[in-house]
Amino acid sequence: AQSVTQLDSHVSVSEGTPVLLRCNYSSSYSPSLFWYVQHPNKGLQLLLKYTSAATLVKGINGFEAEFKKSETSFHLTKPSAHMSDAAEYFCVALKKAAGNKLTFGGGTRVLVKP
């Protein structure tokens, strides 16, 4: 069975400092991986995706994620947090053999302090 684990349910950072959101996945083979962001009372917006091309993936709003197969990780980072980054972030895996169904991590809520 495929599962996605986000290691932190809440992360608090100061504006201007780096952000690290951790995600591990379990799967018998490399799935496609995504990070989505959900701002309060909004839908999910795609930040970036990994689909077995470059292991370092750059997304929107200065975010990037690195796929590490040996660690089964896909951590999301941003060098300098902005107040507008306060939101909930979901690490998501897709397994094509399962009909393109998404498996969601539990989410990490990011608080940005001024």
Partner 1 sequence: DARVTQTPRHKVTEMGQEVTMRCQPILGHNTVFWYRQTMMQGLELLAYFRNRAPLDDSGMPKDRFSAEMPDATLATLKIQPSEPRDSAVYFCASGFSGEETQYFGPGTRLLVL
Burial group, residue 32, by CB count within 10 angstroms (0-12, 13-18, 19+): middle
Decide: is 86 part of the binding site for partner 1 (CB under 8 A): no
Decide: is 107 part of the binding site for partner 1 (CB under 8 A).
Answer: yes
Contacts of 5 (CB under 8 A, 6+ apart): 23, 24, 25, 26, 105, 106
Stretch that binds partner 1, among 20-28, 65-73, 78-86, 91-99 (CB under 8 A): 91-99
Is residue 32 at the binding interface for partner 1, with CB under 8 A as the rule?
yes
Choose which of 66, 77, 104, 109 interacts with partner 1 (CB under 8 A): 104
Q: What secondary structure letter does DSSP report for 41?
A: T
Amino acid at 17: T
**Is residue 7 a contact point for partner 1 (CB under 8 A)?**
no
Residues that bind partner 1 (CB under 8 A): 32, 34, 36, 41-46, 49, 51, 90, 94, 96, 99-102, 104, 106-107
